[in-house]
Amino acid sequence: MTATAFEKSRSALQQNDQRVWSLIVTLFGDMAQAENDRISATQLAKITEILGIKPEATRVALHRLRKDGWLISEKSGRNSRYGLSEFGRSQSMAASARIYGETSAKSGDWHVLILPSKPLAARNAMAKPLLENGYKALNNSVLLGQGSAPEQDEFLVLAAGDTPVPDWVSVQVFSKSMAAEITSFSLRLQSAKKTLNTGFTPLETVALRVLIVHHWRRLVLRLPEMPDALQPKNWPEPQCRRLVHELLKQLQRPRLKTL
């Protein structure tokens, strides 16, 4: 028995650690982000099955996603239909620009924020909310932020704009481990690309799209939101992004009712 083109593509793209609930979030974000889009329980069962997910795991994930307020469900005769909740839809839309954008489309502005000379614990406490909001630490008193310098009087804040960026800064913001992850994903995409043909069923197409978008989403949402000027030479993201878009273009999104 030889593997089909779909099976080859799927195995190139499939990760070991994929969480079912997260994969389902990706699916809804990719296929059913409009307000009245619904995916039926039957369709969900088919999609998850073709992705090699057990029915029980799908049930548990759906339960959790409803409980956490990501999904809503409606009865429709003997079938159930699922859709993104208002919360789930807003989260999904917020991430879409970063996932589906053809460029990272980040502002060129950035700034440096210097914490006051206080004991380390106090500085860490000051840095925490900033780090949770996209700031990157250069060391325990210097943070980099995206966009123009905010007005405040607690920190010393310097607009960076066209400031030349030494290599050690780039590498600290755009880490080598992140670069390695992106490069490894690019290799998966290139491998999948070889077996991509146009003969996939709508179900297979959806499954492959979900695998691509899911992995990409997890990478891209962890990327520092920092201007391109801060990227190290040969930062692999732009190339990986082009590949993602190339593959998604080949795997045209099928209409829901064809599933």
CB nearer to a second copy: pick between 8 and 123? 123
What's 54's DSSP letter?
A: -
User: Closest distance between a second copy and the C-beta of residue 229, in Å?
Assistant: 12
Is residue 175 near a second copy by the rule CB under 8 A? no
Is residue 150 near a second copy by the rule CB under 8 A? no
Instruction: Return d(Cα 33, Cα 36) in angstroms, integer.
Output: 8
Chosen residue from 114, 131, 180, 187 binding a second copy by CB under 8 A: 114
Is residue 31 near a second copy by the rule CB under 8 A? no
Is residue 151 near a second copy by the rule CB under 8 A? yes
Q: Which residues of 182-209 are buried (b: 16+ CB within 10 A; e: fewer)?
A: beebbebbeebeebbeeebeebbbbbbb
- In contact, 169 and 230? CB cutoff 8 Å: yes
| Distances from the Cα of 53 to the Cα of 31, 60, 63, 150, 235, angstroms | 18, 11, 15, 47, 34
Is residue 138 near a second copy by the rule CB under 8 A? yes
CB nearer to a second copy: pick between 23 and 115? 115
Lateral strand order in the sheet of 156-159 = 136-139, 142-146, 110-114, 156-159
Is residue 51 near a second copy by the rule CB under 8 A? no
* DSSP state string for 64-93: HHHHTTSEEEEEETTEEEEEE-HHHHHHHH
Chosen residue from 36, 164, 222, 249 binding a second copy by CB under 8 A: 164
Cα three-residue angle 236-162-139, rounded to 5 degrees: 70
CB nearer to a second copy: pick between 132 and 167? 167
Is residue 198 near a second copy by the rule CB under 8 A? no
Backbone dihedral angles phi then psi of residue 145, each to the nearest 5 degrees: -130, 155
- In contact, 88 and 25? CB cutoff 8 Å: yes
Is residue 146 near a second copy by the rule CB under 8 A? no
Stretch that binds a second copy, among 23-31, 35-43, 62-70, 112-120 (CB under 8 A): 112-120
Instruction: Return d(Cα 114, Cα 128) in angstroms, integer.
Output: 14
- Nearest one of 34, 18, 9, 61 to 200, comparing CA atoms: 9
What would the x/- binding string for a second copy be over residues 68 to 107, using CB under 8 A?
----------------------------------------
User: Closest distance between a second copy and the C-beta of residue 124, in Å?
Assistant: 14
Is residue 158 near a second copy by the rule CB under 8 A? yes
Chosen residue from 94, 122, 125, 156 binding a second copy by CB under 8 A: 156
Q: Where do contacts with a second copy occur on this chain (CB under 8 A)?
A: 112, 114, 116-117, 138-139, 141-142, 149, 151, 153-160, 163-169, 172
